Structure 1
Amino acid sequence: MRGQERNEWSNPRNMDIPAGNKKLSVVLPSGKVVRQKSFKTLPDREKLLVAYKHLEGLRQLNGGYLASDYIGDKGGDKYNVFWLRDIMYATYANEYVGAYDRMIESYRLIIRIFEKYRHKITSGARKRHYLGSCADEAIHARVHPVTLEEITKEWGHHQLDIFGLFLYKTGDLMKKGHNVIGTGQAETFILLRDIVLYLTTVRWHTDPDFGVWEEGPEVHASSVGAVLAGLTMWHDDGHYHHKYKSHNPLYGLLPIPQEFIEIGRASLDRTLPSESASRPYDLVQLSLIWPYAIVSEAQAQQILVNVETHLVREKGLVRYPGDLYYNADGGNPVGNEAQWPLGFAWLSIVYSKLAMKSLRMGSIFPVPSEFIEKAQAYLKRLEDMMTEDGRVPELYTNGQPNWSIPLAWAQSFYVVAHQSLNRVYERMGSR
């Protein structure tokens, strides 16, 4: 059966899914035709194939992903552009289906974008003041999907977590034996060095940015944690060694002083359990548990308690209390926030990772039933919020989804959540 699954995944993009959400027709690479009235009634493995196919529909020839295919014709911002962060998270699904070549292509695109605007990195590294929301020297969070040109000046572009995620995942892939850098390695490592210098001179651990939600400026725990995780990956002090079968040292390629790790850790500890001065908790703090695993067990537990107690709603998670984005009642925002199905995916992933960690600790520990049950429950809640043809909306307001369907990184996180839980099942079967 496992071999058959690998054969189906040999070309997961070779499927036919018609537009609309009333009827689903999928032709698997084996030639098998699957017809169902609803994505929710499909067998689990076929759900995975369908969800991945929708994600592939947003992938561009250069390896990037449109945030969604919404062109802005019904109001609001158009999403058929590149967000750097969204690309890096959207391509995560490829790792979980074994398509590392496609993930590497996406990260090489991010390198190309950084190289294109390298003058901003080197210019920013020379300054010692806050860069501002739309300062010319800030790397823009959004670019055109073909030309890679900047498209929006009035934006909260100073987002430190983008650099943190980039450093973290490139280091992770290299430790797994993948050549993310490409052919111009010497020049790219100089670029990485310049990024670290940029982060240092903009005082990533103490000065504000606009964070994942592009709001602020404030000091965000999620941004500090992202950069700390990225630097820790390259500092190579053993924090992440448990993730790898063999040790592939990185510290000689991009030396990171121990002081950087210490000041980042101190800053993160000062900010937690809050996300920022104005937000006692935030959905994006889940990133500190996964993918970064940069907080202590006690801190992770507190984040989960806060998120599950205060942010979980019927159709998803609110980003934070009083969030005005797509709020159903701007005059009375608390309790009327938009609900993001993405949050269900993130919680499912986190609980699957916690379950896997418990299973790895050995047979003397009981099966982590609570973690597994929560991972299952949140995945089920996510699937209940997906469209009839298997797409994850960005958010719900007043019980209705907005027009960004699917949201690329939410679609990716569904694949990650699905596969993470499957790996728990496989581990339990071999125990």
Structure 2
Amino acid sequence: MEEAIRVLLTLEQPSGLYVASVTPDYQYVWIRDTCYVSLLYLEQSEGRYERIYHALLDLFKKYRWKIAFHAQRRPRAAYEYIHPRYDPDRLEELQEPWGNAQNDAIGLFLYGIGEGLRQGKWILRDESDRELVQLLVQYLANLEFWHDADNGMWEEQAEIHASSIGACVAGLLAVAPYVTVDTSVLRRGMHALIELLPRESATKECDLAQLSLVYPYQLLPRDLARRVVRQIEQQLLREKGVIRYVGDQYFHENGKEAQWSLGLLWLGLCYLTFDDVVKAVSYLQWTEQVMPTPGVLPELYGGRSGMPNSHTPLAWAQAFYALLSSKVMGGSAQKEVAVGLAPPMHS
């Protein structure tokens, strides 16, 4: 676990945000990846969690005009959505065409804000921070996220995704005690989610992204949550990881889908929400058995070759490993993690 944390911290930027990996095409700050990394720090008191969300709030403030505009006028093209990734130095939008409609990233960001506040962290520094969060709430409502076809967690074709709807609902629920959230929007979102489940979308019966509905969001009734997890285990679980969905073409090898490292860890974290520590430990040990190097997690392994791809290490996979390790090892491990995560000094 210590090595995993050390490796993760090599991806931290002076801003407190994280690049996804070390290869040129992944040396960007993704909102989603950084927010998932932040979960490692949620129960720590060293200030890294706050630094992440202060940096993200400042990043969004650069585009407050855009968020405010589309909180009133629904985006019509992908580039009009809030961008999901940014230059790590300037913290500005990347202009190349991308699957920018990623509602799940905004929902996850709001969830992180709300969870931090719930745990007493100093997330909202002033009224301008609160106003920005309120604008993001209005942005999602104006999108009518419950039937908005977005590019989803995997940044692919635009569809209505259960994982994106769930992220938005969870995010809005999390910030509802601190800003104004229209309850009718929440009802529409939850109704659309239940109507779509257990499918992820019109083209995908199930998807690795659906694990987010169980962890961290814990949004579903226990029986439905277990059904989602079992479906992913039955259809997507492989020898070295979890494929994202049947027929995934990203890094596929001769028709075999790539196996994502973080999938095993994500399943373990889901089982902890069911209070099944034995199952969680089994997924942690499984992950350790297939690591290419102790404490280092790639984005994925080839479906046929079983070899890791070049996006090694992957920031949020590293964080999930450290997080699951600390949770299953108990209080002494939490202290060890806290010591290892003392914030670095930046000039």
Structure 2 residue runs of 5 or longer lacking an equivalent are 334-347
**Which runs of 5 or more structure 1 residues have no equivalent in the other structure?**
1-47, 72-77, 236-249, 356-370, 427-431
Q: In the alignment, which residue of structure 1 is the partner of 2:337?
A: none
For residue 227 of structure 1, the aligned residue among 152, 162, 168 is 168
1:388 matched to 2:293? The reply is: yes
* 1:400 partnered with 2:307: yes
Q: Deviations for 1:324-378, whole angstroms, at most 9, x for unmatched residues? A: 000102xxx3xx00000100010111112211xxxxxxxxxxxxxxx22211111
Q: Which has the higher helix share?
A: 2
Please state how far the C-alpha of 1:153 moved relative to its aligned partner: 2.6
The CA RMSD over aligned residues, in Å, is 1.6
Q: Amino acid of the residue matched to residue 414 of structure 1?
A: Y
C-alpha deviations, 1:228-269, integer Å up to 9, x for none?
01111223xxxxxxxxxxxxxx2xx31212212211110101
In the other structure, the counterpart of 1:110 is 56
Contact 1:52 1:415 in 2 (8 A): yes
Which residue of 144, 164, 168 maps to 1:203? Answer: 144
Code of the aligned partner of 1:268: L
The 1:264–1:411 alpha-carbon spacing in structure 2 relative to 1, beyond 3 Å, is same
Are the counterparts in 1 of residues 5 and 322 from structure 2 also a CA contact under 8 Å?
yes
**Partner of residue 130, structure 2:** 189
2:82 corresponds to 1:139: yes
Aligned to 1:161: 104
Aligned residue for 2:257?
Answer: 337
CA distance 1:409–1:387, change in 2 (3 Å)? same
Alignment of 1:408-423 (within 5 A): 408-423=315-330
Counterpart AA for 2:272: S
CA contact (8 A) 2:113 2:175 kept: no
8 Å contact from structure 1 (residues 64, 106) kept in 2: yes
Task: Verify the 8 A CA contact 2:42 2:116 in the aligned structure 1.
Answer: no
Higher relative contact order (CA 8 A, sep 6+): 2
Superposed, which structure 2 residues align to 1:49-128 within 5 Å? 49-71=2-24, 78-95=25-42, 98-128=44-74
Question: 3-state SS of the aligned residue for 2:232?
Answer: helix
The ranges of structure 1 where at least 4 consecutive aligned residues each deviate by more than 3 angstroms after the TM superposition are 423-426
What letter corresponds to residue 135 of structure 2 in structure 1?
Answer: D
Aligned partners of 2:46 and 2:103: how far apart in 1? 25
Q: Which residue of 2 aligns with 1:273?
A: 198
Identity, in percent, stands at: 36
Native 8 Å contact 2:163 2:212 kept in 1: yes
Provide the rounded CA distance (Å) in 2 between the counterparts of 1:389 and 1:317. Answer: 19
Q: Which residue of 1 aligns with 2:230?
A: 305
Change (3 A) 1:95 1:194: closer
TM-score by length of 1: 0.74
Three-state SS of the structure 2 residue aligned to 1:343 is helix
